[in-house]
Amino acid sequence: MTPQIVYEDGEALVIDKPAGLPVDPPRRGGPSLEDHLEELKLGFQRAPQAVHRLDTDTSGCLLLARNPKALKRFGMAFQEKQVTKTYLGILAGRIENDEGTVELALSKVSTEAKGWRMIPARKGKPSVTHWTKLAELDGGLTVVEFRPETGRTHQIRVHAASGLGRALLGDPVYGHKDARVGRTMLHAQALVVPRDGKPDIAAKAPLPADFARFGVAAQDEG
């Protein structure tokens, strides 16, 4: 099944990446976004290329560039923090405050027992995530909107667990698996990429069915 397209123009596609689909081919083999790139040409000579990454479990907005110049330009927009990214997450627990900012530098560690993961570390790379509590759900769960200012690997997952004190529901690395869900409950809801002389790339991915089952309401971006 080809991922749904939520934005399209001559130099960009934004797809709603399904949860469980890796962006890059797994080392052990298996399906990945690469399997769909030929279908996503949509009449163009070149296959589109992913500008950034989402974790395998994370659903939602993923920007693809349709030519090398666009890929470079969009990549610079991410590096220069010009891109606005909005995520929805379900936390495995309650939090007291209604909004705030997590600033925790992150560093990658690897152990034989647990494999690799990201940890808060004073000498790590600066990482900033703004957040707003949207709703409290049955079962002691909390819906939070995350707006990452930086784009570190696993940033929202670590900032939820270590910054807010509540891991994302179902996160097997920074929290624990949960029988109620089949993945880490994080959704890349919206993406806005500014462009000189052209309208912004502005895309929104629909609310996933597994979020809706918990009573999460779709957020209106206006």
Which residues form the catalytic set?
55
CB 192 within 8 A of CB 63: no
CB 151 within 8 A of CB 51: no
Tell me the DSSP string of 128-151: EEEEEEEEEETTTEEEEEEEESS-
H-type alpha helices, 50-170: 68-79, 155-158
Q: Is 119 helix (H, G, I), strand (E, B) or coil?
A: strand
**Percent helix, strand, coil in the chain (nearest 5)?**
15, 35, 50
Write out the two tokens for 221.
Answer: 């971006």
Closest CA to 92 of 187, 174, 213, 19: 174
DSSP summary character for residue 212: H
